[in-house]
Amino acid sequence: MLTEFEIYTDGGARGNPGPAACAVVVFEKGKKGKKIAEFGKFLGRATNNQAEYQGVLQALLWLEQQEKSARQINFFLDSKLIVEQLSGRFKLKNEGLKMLFWQIQKKIMSLGLTVNFKHIPREQNQEADKIVNEILDKEKK
């Protein structure tokens, strides 16, 4: 079954670099649609931008494991820089991010997806942000 997903991702680090985490919240057919999944991952030591990229990569890895075949994915991130880089509008200069960028591009191609990356205000990404902070708070203890 082919379907469309809206995926909200976030990443953050306490210190830059420092302890970092990413999070993914997946909806089917719009934010008012059914929430399919939400999860996060502790990344160890990373930068904020690395954590943001990892959020997108973890979402793609999750998609790869699903029974439903996605064709159209709309990613929503509160990092304008990452959205512009992944959309090809900003040049990626940081060598440390290039590997993550190419992992994401290869995964998109291998899954045969049509993908849009959209920048949203932080207030519209609260669910993913909350998961990131919960993970980082837990790791701090």
pLDDT recorded at residue 70: 74
How far apart CA 135 and CA 59 sit, in angstroms, is 17
Domain 2-140 is classified in which CATH homologous superfamily? Answer: Ribonuclease H-like superfamily/Ribonuclease H (3.30.420.10)
Collect all residues with Cβ–Cβ distance below 8 Å to 19 and sequence separation of at least 6: 13, 42, 44, 45, 136, 139, 140
pTM of this prediction? 0.94
pLDDT at 16 over 60: yes
Q: Which two tokens stand for residue 68?
A: 């439903």
State mean pLDDT over 56-70: 89
Place of tokens 């909806």: 27
| Rounded-to-10 torsion of CA 34, 126, 124, 107 | -70
How far apart CA 51 and CA 16 sit, in angstroms, is 10
Residue 102, amino acid: W
pLDDT at 30 over 60: no
- Please report, for the chain, the start and end positions of each structural domain, with discontinuous segments joined by +: 2-140
